[in-house]
Amino acid sequence: MTMTERVPDAESDAAETRCGYVALAGRPNVGKSTLMNHLLGRKLSITSRKPQTTRQALIGVLTRGPAQIVFVDTPGIHVAGGRALNRYMVGQAVGSLAGVELALMLVEPSGWRAGDEIVRRRIRESGVPCICVINKIDRLPRKDRLLPLLDDLSRRHDFEALVPVSALKNLALDDLLDEIAGRLPRRAHLFAADEVTDRSLAFLVGEIVREKAVRRLGAELPHQTAVMVERITLAAEPGSTNENNNAASQLASSDDALPGTRPSKSYAEVDAVIYVERDTQKRIAIGKGGTMLRSIGEDARKDIEILLGSQAMVRLWVKVDRRWSGRPEALQRFGYYSPPAPPAQSEAPAQDADKGVPHPRAGRARVDR
């Protein structure tokens, strides 16, 4: 066990420090994941121009002086008819609102839409206090357009505050952090200062591959793409990999194979499969002479190297799993478990025995800053 944890029971600490879970909510594509990444100052959650990129709630921890903000990035809330995957995603987002201290509802400066009202209703039902974040203000042609928008928003809901920002351009993010930190309960930090997420390395690597596939493939394909990381092999130098050193399986059960604990001149090999739903999609994902798959692999390699802080080789395959996104058992195989895990409160047990839901703090990987 290499993970360092603070025991959150020191009362003197709790009097001085603040800590709480903050859900990022909003309709698809408003910039939730971009905002979380820019608030954390590192890329953790995948993003794309296409809606419904995020599929699972993902924790990102920001420790900022006495305040520790545990962000929960969530899939976009929308009317989830049809596919099992869609229902799962909305379940993740709505479930994430249960138990958080605060919600950030993201909207765009172009004005309130029907989709925003769906989100607002979910937030109201949850009873969670909410800050409205008007994201993408870099797109506003004139700043005076903000005033009528703020006026309109203040009538829509009893928001704690209205904060215009640009996640992408890092505008007013400190203001937002101040607004959040002041509203967190006084208590000891739940995570060690260098912990950034609750997710395993295998999950983060798989998400990077999925992001690259989503960004390169056509508009329809992203929703039918899943990634399974079959193997991550970490070794001291290229060519000297040890087949038994299977990081993906180690990460599922322990924290031994985390960045920072591997050899300094490390090298990683990643094998991953991109699953699509039809043979025609497989042909698109591979591309003429394998060009598309090579490009996805090359894009992924760069980000995986940043994540691991080492050289990497990425081998990708494409396989067909017919209509997987509509089949609950296939969803489970790809790691889309149901129901979603609610964010935990301090001193909760590592496993919620009643619901059988893994606690967000159980088995998480530390990713070095």
Ligand X SMILES: Nc1nc2c(ncn2[C@@H]2O[C@H](COP(=O)(O)OP(=O)(O)OP(=O)(O)O)[C@@H](O)[C@H]2O)c(=O)[nH]1
Q: Which residues bind ligand X (CB under 6 A)?
A: 26, 28-34, 47-49, 51-54, 75-76, 135-136, 138-139, 166-169
Residue 327 is encoded by which pair of tokens?
Answer: 């089949």
Q: Which helix (H) or strand (E) holds 352?
A: strand 351-352
Name which of Mg ion, ligand X, none residue 167 binds, using a CB cut-off of 5 to 8 Å depending on partner kind: ligand X
CA pair distance 76, 85, nearest whole angstrom: 13
Angle of CA points 356, 362, 367, to nearest 5°: 145
CA pair distance 54, 189, nearest whole angstrom: 27
Q: Closer CB to ligand X, residue 76 or residue 342?
A: 76
Q: Closer CB to ligand X, residue 143 or residue 155?
A: 143
Name which of ligand X, Mg ion, none residue 52 binds, using a CB cut-off of 5 to 8 Å depending on partner kind: ligand X
Q: Closer CB to ligand X, residue 139 or residue 145?
A: 139
Q: Give the closest residue to 26 by CA, choosing from 152, 123, 109, 157.
A: 123
**What's the closest the beta carbon of residue 169 comes to ligand X, in angstroms?**
6
Q: Pattern 47-66, binding to Mg ion, x per CB under 5 A?
A: ------xx------------
Which residues does 208 contact at the CB level (< 8 Å), separation at least 6? 46, 300, 303, 304, 307
Q: What is the dihedral of CA 299, 304, 309, 315, to 10 degrees?
A: -90
Phi, psi at residue 313, to the nearest 5°? -120, 135
**What's the closest the beta carbon of residue 34 comes to ligand X, in angstroms?**
3
Q: Closer CB to ligand X, residue 6 or residue 50?
A: 50
Q: Closer CB to Mg ion, residue 53 or residue 86?
A: 53
At residue 355, the 3 state secondary structure works out as: coil
CA pair distance 230, 104, nearest whole angstrom: 35
Q: Pattern 249-288, binding to Mg ion, x per CB under 5 A?
A: ----------------------------------------
Name which of Mg ion, ligand X, none residue 124 binds, using a CB cut-off of 5 to 8 Å depending on partner kind: none
Name which of ligand X, Mg ion, none residue 197 binds, using a CB cut-off of 5 to 8 Å depending on partner kind: none
**What's the closest the beta carbon of residue 27 comes to Mg ion, in angstroms?**
11
**What's the closest the beta carbon of residue 70 comes to ligand X, in angstroms?**
17
Q: How far is CA 12 from CA 21, 193, 331, in A?
A: 21, 18, 45
**What's the closest the beta carbon of residue 54 comes to ligand X, in angstroms?**
3
Task: Identify the residue among 33, 56, 233, 281 touching Mg ion (CB under 5 A).
Answer: 33
Name which of ligand X, Mg ion, none residue 174 binds, using a CB cut-off of 5 to 8 Å depending on partner kind: none
- The interface with Mg ion within residues 113-142 (CB under 5 A) comprises none
Which residues does 280 contact at the CB level (< 8 Å), separation at least 6? none
Burial class (CB in 10 A: 0-12, 13-18, 19+), 246: middle
Q: Closer CB to ligand X, residue 169 or residue 355?
A: 169
Q: Give the closest residue to 132 by CA, choosing from 21, 65, 35, 48.
A: 35
Piece of 25-33, 171-179, 237-245, 258-266 that binds Mg ion (CB under 5 A): 25-33
| Residue keyed to tokens 């490009």 | 295
Q: How many residues bind Mg ion (CB under 5 A)?
A: 4
Give the single-character DSSP code of 246: B
Residues 217 and 285 sit within 8 Å (Cβ to Cβ):
yes
Name which of ligand X, Mg ion, none residue 283 binds, using a CB cut-off of 5 to 8 Å depending on partner kind: none
Site residues (CB under 5 A) for Mg ion? 32-33, 53-54
